[in-house]
Structure 1
């Protein structure tokens, strides 16, 4: 089988192994952070982005999923999305942006895609033929990340872990 993903520890995954790894990671994150809604219906903000499309397809294998119109600020409390599509790359970028501005109190809200990077999500979408738009990256932050990535390939994970060590878990609740 052809290798589609190689981890930093040199372990390689073919297409089917990667799809299984990716889906298991999403469901493991849901369990770990207790993200399953009481009514077992996930509601997402309707969007054309790749994160929403991927998450919707994965969740629909086991749960009911509703897409809500993406009118900013017009949700009634009963109809707000109960699940975020934020991923590891966007969250690391947000944390780094806040740190540069001197704000160390950034709260990370758990999301099913929180432990998956843009690269992993884009590869999964490609393998499953899921269409969607890529998120816009902050060029300034990405240039800084590129300088660090040569020495630390797990930079995004390390940023999230460091932030979780700075801010106590009970602060996130």
Structure 2
């Protein structure tokens, strides 16, 4: 995690499923006031789950699992048609979460799926960013932007601003 990066902080705040391997009775606030027994399953922020699962000095307090946003069902949907999946509904920072989880769990198949997903979706994002009348008028493009994760939204904005800058440059240079 980049210490001062808001993107990294928000990515690490996303929840991941963890199973406690040891009883931890004094962490009641994590479990809605109930003590945490061995085998208790909780969704914890990624940064906390990582700390509990990767403690190298003792046995880890918990094991971390792949979040549902990156589960097999979502991976299958992305393989079938990457453009039809609402990534924002899966995780606001979907690609960041994928990157962090791949740092913790080596999964070559997931690397391929996420890479191919981004490539397929980037082309459509760039195309829609150049033709944004629908976004401004509440058309289909607006629904499209709503399904983008934050990384894709940044790409959309950058592409749109670049297109507008090129148009402006052509207009001013043709007058000279």
Query: TM-score, length-normalised on structure 1?
Result: 0.30
Pick the structure with greater CA Rg: 2
